[in-house]
Amino acid sequence: MKTIDIVNGPRKVSTIIQGCMRMPALSKEDAAKVIRTAYDCGVNFYDHATCYGAGEAEVRFAEAFPLTGLKREDIYLQSKCGLCFDRGEFDWTKENILESVDGILKRLKVDYIDTLLLHRPDVLFDPEEVASAFDKLEAEGKVKWFGVSNLVPMQIELLKKYVEQPLVINQVQLSLEQSQLIDQALYMNNKTTDYSINRDGNCLDYCRLKDITIQAWSPLQFGMFGGTFIDNPDFPKLNEALGKIAEREGVSKTAVAIAWILRHPAKMQAIIGSMNPAHIKDACAAADVNLSHHDWYELYLAAGKFLP
Ligand SMILES: NC(=O)c1ccc[n+]([C@@H]2O[C@H](COP(=O)([O-])OP(=O)(O)OC[C@H]3O[C@@H](n4cnc5c(N)ncnc54)[C@H](OP(=O)(O)O)[C@@H]3O)[C@@H](O)[C@H]2O)c1
């Protein structure tokens, strides 16, 4: 497994992260298999959020962890806060951030998390309140590093005006089928295609300029949780291209689809969500696949794009 050092953040983190959003459906024994399988494949980073199963993902992880034989210090634990679906709002108030972290620590049964991300933007956020919450969490040793998820550059800039700690991560959607993070720059100024629409304020280039590590969520999904495109008959060209490279490299199509994300020079992490140990092993093989410059474009075009 390849690792990267997050600038101003945790070091030697695996390029593949095990996401835990789908963990509430598992027994604690099966959850332990997921955690351990990923770890044995080289994963040392696990992603949570307060809203995954309304906290159940964190609860299941904590129940399962003692069965894995791993120690807290063996892994990086990340969680996110701010999505309060139960209340029908997004909430970055100081009160909610502090309460959320206390809930995360309690559910995960740990004294600290390594990274805390603000999930989706609370459009009513007050950056001074966020800064005050982060100062307290850092001073109390509850959170080591901070970041964001699904944020456009200007929102990050606004936060940075007040927040003392570096914002080291932006977790955003990216897959071969959901590649808008990359598309807009390629089709720049092209009126004939929606691919040119700037949907995120040039998030990719901004994060690269500011040394913010991008974590790509849902690397195998089409649409917004539409299901996977792997072996899906609705994506024949993409599966053909994935299959050709997979055969050449002696890995699965899943590995090639994730290697496509890791091939980007932005040095991203990819967050996988499988709860199936065989799929997790397939996915982790991606870290050791070295796609060529041409492979990358071949896959991008096979996913339905064109050269403008
Ligand atoms: N920040 C955000 O807003 C945000 C949003 C969404 C997700 N996330 C994070 O990203 C993580 C990953 O999201 P995701 O679960 O949508 O990612 P994903 O890895 O793209 O999708 C995983 C899903 O695809 C299925 N799948 C079907 N065939 C597969 C195959 N051959 N190989 C692997 N998986 C296959 C998996 O089923 P099996 O379990 O049967 O393999 C699972 O249901 C989440 O756990 C969460 O941590 C963050």
| Ligand 1: residue whose CA is nearest its atom 24 | 228
| Ligand 1: residue whose CA is nearest its atom 27 | 228
pLDDT score of 58:
98
**Cα of 86 to ligand 1 centre, how many Å?**
23
DSSP per-residue letters across 213-250 = EEEEE-TTB-TTT--B-TT-TT-HHHHHHHHHHHHHHT
Ligand 1 atom closest to residue 117's alpha carbon, by position in its atom list: 1
Ligand 1 atom closest to residue 217's alpha carbon, by position in its atom list: 10
> What pLDDT digit, counting tens, does each position of 254-284 carry?
999 999 999 999 999 999 999 999 999 999 9
> What pLDDT digit, counting tens, does each position of 88-145 carry?
999 999 999 999 999 999 999 999 999 999 999 999 999 999 999 999 999 999 999 9
**Cα of 18 to ligand 1 centre, how many Å?**
9
Alpha helices by DSSP H, 83-149:
94-108, 127-139
Ligand 1 pocket: which of 14, 20, 22 to mutate (most atoms <8 Å of CB)? 22
- The pTM of the full predicted model, rounded to 2 decimals, is 0.97
**Cα of 19 to ligand 1 centre, how many Å?**
7
The domain locations on the chain are 12-231+267-273
Which pLDDT band holds residue 296 (cuts at 50, 70, 90)? very high
> What pLDDT digit, counting tens, does each position of 164-183 carry?
999 999 999 999 999 999 99
Ligand 1 atom closest to residue 220's alpha carbon, by position in its atom list: 20
pLDDT score of 225:
83
**Cα of 251 to ligand 1 centre, how many Å?**
19
Opening angle at CA 183, ends 224 and 302, nearest 5? 80
pLDDT at 62 over 90: yes
CATH of 12-231+267-273, one of 3.90.245.10, 3.40.50.360, 3.40.30.10, 3.20.20.100: 3.20.20.100
**Rg (Cα) of the chain, in Å, rounded?**
19
Ligand 1 pocket: which of 90, 271, 280, 284 to mutate (most atoms <8 Å of CB)? 271
Amino acid identity of residue 60, one-letter, is R
Q: Name the residue among 176, 224, 187, 184 with its Cα closest to residue 205.
A: 184
The partner residues of 76 in beta bridges, in order of sequence, read 45
